[in-house]
Amino acid sequence: MRGHFHLLPRLAAVLALAAPLFAQKFYTYVTDLGPNTCEITWGTADGKNTIGRSAPSHGIATIKIAGRTMSTEGTSIVVGNLLPDHVYPFEVDLANRRLGGGEVRTWPSQSTHLVFFVLGDFGTGNSIQFNIARVMWEEFQRRQHSDNPVRFILGMGDTIYGDVAGFLLGIGHTGKEDKDWDKKFFAPYESLMQRVPFFGVLGNHDGNETESHGDLTQFLDNMPYPGGKPGRYFEFSYGGGLADFFGLDSTANTLSGPAQPFYLANGAEFHWMQTVFPASKAQWKIPFMHHPPYSAGPLHPGSLQQLQHWVDLFAATGVKVVFSGHEHNLQLSDPRATYGIQFVVSGAGGELRPNDIQSKLRAAHIAYWAGQNHFLVVEIDGPTMRITPMSFVKLNIRDANGNVATPPFIVTLPQAAGTARPQG
């Protein structure tokens, strides 16, 4: 034993390095998915840059999926040659430690139906956010083994809200470090993100429009993107022509300097939109963004004046439904007064403004509203879309006359497109 004493300092050093690794909470999550591929990512959200695309390697990770074992020094891996609409359990190991795992279900190559979640203004870390996340998980499980499971989540922005001290004093905790994302993003949706991707757009609280430049940088580093290419706007398709989705940036966030509108008619984003929207041949063309063109408040009026060029393009290219957040309640427009398009405000995934706006509905072209926390379950079945708000409390959805509305709200293509009405 005495001859081996010289090894003790080296052993102690190895153990010192390994101890933090085994003490850290790792997240494994799905960052992209398709008929034949998936992307799996891992990291720990307890530092400044410990998760996301630019995070340094945590060591050689081993990934087991589809009967294969792969290794990488990176923090993510793209797995190909998968079968469409097939369930694949996976696990990720690092230094003989199980970091985590999950179960992905690849998308079908062709489909006439789809289910996805819509969630807005959620990154608070409070009990409301966790309660909404719990109901989302329960609904996901209910559908998980059916022929129509939930395929992904769309985030409407305000992904991370700054803590009061950080917001007022400028000392961080606004979303510009990975530790700000732990309890406000990765923890609430951990079970869901081990199975489906979370595709989100920027909100004003995700950058210096309201908070910090660093929030935008961190958002682009951490947020999953279809195709694995981070950007302030993006598109993806589902079902071989069933639906094309367009994630849009309606904010004034900038990487440096003062806040400036990113959505202007002479900007790169709108030039891109002028190409991709007319090119889409999908049955459903679905834009989603943070700022709603139509809103009855109580705090945020509609952004139609700023986004008129977007709405004109939507109407000209056959868009019949648009999802957004920003106002912390539920609102559905009257398509007869909103270019034949059903605009949906869903901005109460964590935040809430319960103020009564019933008297303002008609003037704002809003048909239904509820001042309660919620998320949306959206079901597409060919030319029919069903929009069902869900919550951990009983929802009280009313029209401009105060009459109770019973979900789901139906949008039908093509003759009655945009005419949303309660099923009941």
Q: CATH number, domain at 271?
A: 3.60.21.10
- Do residue 294 and residue 348 come from a single domain? yes
- Do residue 132 and residue 267 come from a single domain? yes
- Do residue 26 and residue 130 come from a single domain? no
- Do residue 210 and residue 278 come from a single domain? yes
- Do residue 21 and residue 68 come from a single domain? yes
Q: Residue length, the chain?
A: 424
Query: Residue 402 — left, alpha, or beta (φ > 0 → left; ψ -120 to 50 → alpha)?
Result: left
- Do residue 268 and residue 412 come from a single domain? yes
Using one digit for the tens of pLDDT, what is the confidence trace for 82-122?
999 999 999 999 988 999 999 999 999 999 999 999 999 99
pTM: 0.92
**In total, how many domains does the chain have?**
2
- Do residue 220 and residue 279 come from a single domain? yes
Q: What's the DSSP call for residue 165?
A: H
- Band of residue 124 on the pLDDT scale cut at 50, 70, 90: very high
- Do residue 194 and residue 306 come from a single domain? yes
Residue-level pLDDT at 414: 78
Question: Is residue 3's pLDDT more than 50?
Answer: no
Cis amide leading into 224 (omega within 30) = no
Q: Are 349 and 119 in contact (CB under 8 A)?
A: yes
Question: Is residue 18's pLDDT more than 50?
Answer: no
Domain boundary among 105, 122, 145: 105
How far apart are alpha carbons 44 and 48 in whole angstroms?
A: 10
- Domain that includes residue 363, residue range: 110-422
- The number of beta carbons lying within 10 Å of the beta carbon of residue 261 is 15
Using one digit for the tens of pLDDT, what is the confidence trace for 224-237?
999 888 899 999 99
Q: CATH number of the domain that 58 lies in?
A: 2.60.40.10
How far apart are alpha carbons 87 and 195 in whole angstroms?
A: 10
- Do residue 96 and residue 125 come from a single domain? no
Question: Is residue 171's pLDDT more than 80?
Answer: no
Domain boundary among 105, 136, 166: 105
Q: Within 13 A of 160's CA, how many CA atoms are on the CB side?
A: 34
The closest of 243, 279, 270, 247 to 381, measured between CA atoms, is 243
- Do residue 114 and residue 86 come from a single domain? no
Report CA-CA distances (Å) from 4 to 8, 9, 16, 103, 302.
Answer: 7, 10, 19, 46, 74
How far apart are alpha carbons 195 and 31 in whole angstroms?
A: 10
Using one digit for the tens of pLDDT, what is the confidence trace for 23-59?
789 999 999 999 999 999 999 999 889 999 999 999 9
Mean pLDDT lowest among 6-20, 22-36, 400-414? 6-20
- Do residue 74 and residue 158 come from a single domain? no
Q: What are phi and psi of 14, to 5 degrees?
A: -60, -45
Domain boundary among 105, 120, 139: 105
- Band of residue 408 on the pLDDT scale cut at 50, 70, 90: very high
Report CA-CA distances (Å) from 53 to 190, 249, 250.
Answer: 18, 20, 24
Contacts of 1 (CB under 8 A, 6+ apart): none
The closest of 408, 411, 407 to 383, measured between CA atoms, is 411
- Do residue 278 and residue 370 come from a single domain? yes
